[in-house]
Amino acid sequence: MAQPIIEFKHVAKQYDDNVVLKSVDLEIEAGKFYTLLGPSGSGKTTILRLIAGFLEATSGDILFEGQKINDLPPEKRRVNTVFQNYALFPNMNVFENVAFGMSIKGKGKSEIKAKVTEMLGLVKLSGLEDREISELSGGQQQRVAIARALANDPEVLLLDEPLSALDYKLRKEMQYELREIQKRLGITFIFVTHDQEEALAMSDWIFVTNEGEIVQNGTPVDIYDAPINHFVADFIGESNILPGVMRKDYLVAFAGKEFENVDGGMRPNEQVEVVLRPEDLDLVSADEGKLIVTIDDQSFRGDYYEITAHDDDQNEWQIQATNPAIIGERRGLFFDPEDIHIMRLNESEEDFDARMEEYDDTEEEGTMNES
Ligand SMILES: Nc1ncnc2c1ncn2[C@@H]1O[C@H](COP(=O)(O)OP(=O)(O)OP(=O)(O)O)[C@@H](O)[C@H]1O
């Protein structure tokens, strides 16, 4: 990759004895939409504040375009932040809020007017220049906050859970619009959320945080299809996670049976965890199934039925089915070998990446042999 716009080298943050960030390494490439995704307290906001300069790292280096910026004050960094609570100035109207940064920099009136007009157009608030902040809806206030941050021409826009106060429908709309704004401006966005659906829908690249560490990073598809460990598999989407044991010849044993799988490169007899996503499972007749399950419960979810069941080894299963089932009935459970994802216990991210690369190569070779 080209030189990263932002880089963390072993960055740690500690308050007295409380380590909230443990030696984080990360690289941000210019012009992409990044998301920091993780549960509450995992360190997302700390990472964002270190980038903005509102916090000082306890150790490690923070670089901007290759230059160390640990000691650079926030106003000298070419980044701007959009906060969750908008932080607008209530005594100023929409125009004055968006113009604020440029006014204190002493920009000329006509330049300010042109920029405010452009920014309000970008966030679809043209014509509301004279409105007071108290006369705006929550969604409109959020748009003003975005316009105000972008009016300073930052190279990187930091967004700290900016959509969490909005209702579901508005939130979806704003997700789409933020993505569009990022593409149009071509600058780097770093977005913080604890909502995995939001992260999957918006990002080019996701950093998953847990307990002060980045536990996995990759594209949304990588992270969804190949979670590195139990935490990621459980946090991102619904999962069935079962204990398993690798066997020879691309076989894995779980739920009391052996199954063919293609997620290879494993040692026989190694204890692993097996992930199967609910949407990759089908209910079929008992003699067509790879496993037999007994239906425990179901609920209608609009476009599918969410069904819970258990197998004869007493493993719980979550299944997304297009048709309803009958509670108490014994059915077959069907899945494709390629939908079985294997997770090694306690694997480092580097070893995991190497294994996934090997797996991709094996797949390519397989395709070439077939042709
Ligand atoms: N000033 C502080 N003094 C001591 N501990 C702090 C301070 N600020 C944050 N922390 C702790 O640092 C940890 C990480 O906080 P951070 O805000 O980065 O998490 P987060 O992932 O952004 O969570 P959330 O989604 O709840 O905002 C938390 O355990 C928090 O209590």
Percent of the chain past pLDDT 90, that is, above it, reads 76
Distance 103 CA to ligand 1 centre (A): 33
Band of pLDDT at residue 350, cut at 50, 70 and 90: confident
Give the type of residue at 99: A
Checking if the pLDDT of 366 tops 70, the result is no
Q: How far is the CA of 55 from the centre of ligand 1 (A)?
A: 12
Model confidence at 317, pLDDT cuts 50, 70, 90, reads: very high
Cα separations in angstroms, 211 against 40, 58, 205, 223, 238: 9, 17, 20, 18, 21
pLDDT at 369 over 60: no
Measured in Å, residue 21 CA sits from the centre of ligand 1 at 9
Strand order in the sheet with 18-28: 18-28, 6-15, 59-64, 67-68
Residue for token pair 């779980």:
254
Distance (Å, whole) CA 242 – CA 309: 14
105 Cβ contact list (under 8 Å, min separation 6): none
Residue 367 has a pLDDT of 44
Within 13 Å, how many C-alpha atoms sit on residue 99's CB side? Answer: 19
pLDDT higher than 70, residue 364 = no
Looking at ligand 1, which atom is closest to the CA of residue 192? Answer: 22
pLDDT of residue 113: 95
In DSSP terms, which residues pair with 209 in a beta bridge?
Answer: 214
ipTM surpasses cut 0.90: yes
pLDDT of amino acid 368: 41
Say how far apart CA 360 and CA 354 lie, in whole Å: 10
- pLDDT tens for each residue of 327-342: 999 999 999 998 999 9
* CA distances in angstroms from 128 to 84, 136, 142, 149, 165, listed in the order given: 22, 9, 14, 17, 22
* Average pLDDT score over the chain: 91
User: Beta 156-160 vs 79-82: how paired, if at all?
Assistant: parallel
Q: Which of 196, 180, 207, 172 is nearest to 51 (CA)?
A: 207
pLDDT-derived band at 359, boundaries 50, 70, 90: low
CA of 6 to the centre of ligand 1 (A): 22
Average pLDDT over residues 65-93: 91
**Can you tell me the distance from the alpha carbon of 55 to that of 74, in angstroms, rounded to the nearest whole number?**
9
The band of 105, judged by pLDDT with boundaries at 50, 70 and 90, is confident
Local confidence band at 266 (pLDDT 50, 70, 90 cut-offs): low
Please indicate whether residue 268 or residue 282 has the higher confidence score (pLDDT).
Answer: 282
Q: What is the DSSP string of 222-270?
A: HHHHS-SSHHHHHHSS--EEEEEEEETTTEEEETTEEEE-S-----TT-
**Cα–Cα distance measured from residue 205 to residue 246, given in angstroms and rounded to the nearest whole number:** 31
In the reported structure, the alpha carbon of residue 283 is separated from the centroid of ligand 1 by a whole-number distance in angstroms of 44
Q: What pLDDT was estimated at residue 87?
A: 83
Structure tokens at 298: 């179901």
* 221 has a pLDDT exceeding 70: yes
Domains of the chain: 6-225 (3.40.50.300), 238-277+336-357 (2.40.50), 282-334 (2.40.50)
158-197: pLDDT as tens digits: 999 988 888 888 899 999 999 999 999 999 999 999 999 9
Average pLDDT of the residues in 108-136: 93
* Cα distances (angstroms) measured from residue 220 to each of 150, 176, 232, 233, 324: 26, 16, 12, 13, 30
pLDDT of residue 245: 92
| Out of 134-143, 154-163, 192-201, least confident range | 134-143
CA distance 219 to 198: 13
18 lines ligand 1 (CB under 6 A): yes
Query: How would you classify the pairing of strands 67-68 and 240-247?
Result: unpaired
The encoded tokens of residue 341 equal 């994802």
What is the model's pLDDT at position 85?
A: 76
Of residues 294 and 266, the one with the higher pLDDT is: 294
DSSP-assigned states of every residue in 41-101: TSSHHHHHHHHHTSS--SEEEEEETTEE-TT--GGGSSEEEE-TT----TTSBHHHHHHHH
**What mean pLDDT do residues 192-209 have?**
95
- Structure tokens given for 15: 């308050």
Pairing of strands 251-254, 240-247: antiparallel
Nearest residue to 139 (alpha-carbon basis) of 164, 113, 102, 109: 164
Q: Whose CA is closest to atom 18 on ligand 1?
A: 43
Q: Tell me the angle at which helices 109-122 and 94-104 cross, rounded to the nearest 10 degrees.
A: 130
pLDDT at 43 over 80: yes
Q: What is the DSSP string of 334-352?
A: E--GGG-EEEETT--HHHH
Grade residue 363 by pLDDT with cuts at 50, 70 and 90: low
* Confidence label for 355 from pLDDT (cuts 50, 70 and 90): confident
Which two three-digit tokens encode residue 173?
A: 């709309």
Is the CB of 44 within 6 Å of ligand 1? yes
**Mean pLDDT throughout 299-325?**
94
Quick check: 347 pLDDT over 90?
no
